[in-house]
Amino acid sequence: MAKIKKQDSPASFYDRFPTWLIVIVPLLLLAALVILFVRTNPIQVATTDLPPIENLSIQRIELPEPNQIIVHVTNAGPDPVEIAQILVDDAYWQFEIEPSGKTLDRLESTRIHLSYPWVATEPHEIVIVTSSGTTFSGEIELATQTPKLDFKQFMAYGLVGVYIGIIPVGLGLLWYPAMRKLSRRGMGFILSLTVGLLFFLLVDTLLESFEVAEKLPGVYQGIPLTLFIAVLSWLAITAIGSRKSVANRDTKKGRMFVALLIAIGIGFHNLGEGLVVGAAFALGEAALGSFLVIGFILHNITEGVGIAAPVVRDKASTRYLIWLLLIAGAPAILGTWIGGFAFSPLLAVIFLAIGAGAIWQVIYEVGLLIQRDAKKAGSQLIDWVNVSGLLVGITVMYLTAFLVKF
């Protein structure tokens, strides 16, 4: 019996064109549609009589001199906005705008200069009036001169960062020799305590980032931006941690990598903390006193314990511990400098979100260490020692936070 040859199916219409052309045609049609819509604006008839949508976002108010006020403003709305008048404490005041004119296009930023005799330690209100009569207000809760970028101020803000970051982490690391003498259950308690303090830092970092995100223009979508950056940071750190050289956490190199991850996560948290604290000091919302400094030291001292916990059994060198100290604590110095002299809500949100993603990955890594140790010892993962450590870590961070919230 003759074998029937199977015929190839006829080529479809799309098979006649190259793949790149099939991919690019929809994009070209989409671009043409957008251009057509912008040029013809078919809904113009329905919106002709509607007022423009105006949304000015006051990002920062500076007091560089005793008789000067500078207001940083961004047009966060879809339509151009013309600044018509400025009121300071219910009185109309002359003003100058630079670098642009009185009309701001979408997402354009400018600075409004006012020659106003503000009174130190007194509150002031600034109201921006647009050409349509819409008003946007900003408050100076406690008038104090904005610090100038000179050597004295630079070193003073750097010292604040040392108090916030370097000193607490360093004091915590001093417990490293004592931690090496702990039993297995004692180390399980310390690792669980580390998870507790990291969990508090995670929640605190997210809440801080959400608070700062509310100050961003709505177009930036501050809270979604925070969550997206946090997730991407977590995935990036996970990808780095999956490398063969550090993938096995049961080795000395793997445990040292976990300690490094903890230091990085805490470092980003301290950077964001320094940003907020530096900005608060610059705006006169907090006074640098011994009580506040002691509060930060007590609040952050357990960070050093958390960093050292994964490498207790490996006898880490002093040089390595100092390196971890700088990674975790030094970002607070950078944060206070940025916050004091050039605070940006967008930068704060980015750094805090990266910190949140890093801390979440560290919680996962330390949790795996606890699980592996429990499996080797033939004990339960969730027992009274681990639960107690978790509870103590959260409680210590929560109680000491009372001393540094302002």
Q: Are 182 and 102 in contact (CB under 8 A)?
A: no
Give the angle 301-387-329 at the CA atoms, nearest 5°.
Answer: 20
Q: Average per-residue pLDDT in the chain?
A: 82
Asked if the model's pLDDT at residue 126 lies above 90, the reply is: yes
The length of the chain in residues reads: 406
Q: What is the mean pLDDT of residues 226-249?
A: 77
Q: What is the mean pLDDT of residues 289-298?
A: 63
Could you read off the pLDDT of 127-152 as tens digits, one per residue?
Answer: 999 988 889 998 888 788 887 778 88
Listing DSSP states for 119-187 in one string gives -TT--EEEEEEETTS-EEEEEESS--PPPP-SHHHHHHHHHHHIIIIIHHHHHHHTTHHHHTT--HHHH
Better-predicted residue by pLDDT, 49 or 83: 83
Q: What pLDDT, on the 0 to 100 scale, is given for residue 248?
A: 61
Distance from C-alpha of 267 to C-alpha of 359, rounded to nearest angstrom: 10
SS (H, E, C) 277-296: HHHHHHCCCCCCCHHHHHHH
Number of Cα atoms under 13 Å in the Cβ half of residue 122:
8
Distance from C-alpha of 406 to C-alpha of 403, rounded to nearest angstrom: 8
Band the pLDDT of 13: cuts 50, 70, 90. low
Q: What is the mean pLDDT of residues 254-281?
A: 83
Could you read off the pLDDT of 188-220 as tens digits, one per residue?
Answer: 888 888 889 889 989 988 998 898 888 887 778
Band the pLDDT of 7: cuts 50, 70, 90. low
Asked if the model's pLDDT at residue 362 lies above 90, the reply is: no
Element (H or E) spanning 47, and its range? helix 44-47
Angle between helices 345-377 and 252-282 (to 10 degrees): 150
Better-predicted residue by pLDDT, 312 or 232: 232
pTM: 0.74
Distance from C-alpha of 330 to C-alpha of 161, rounded to nearest angstrom: 7
* Range of lowest pLDDT (235-244, 285-294, 322-331, 374-383): 285-294
Cα four-point dihedral sign 309, 313, 318, 319: negative
Angle between helices 184-213 and 345-377 (to 10 degrees): 160
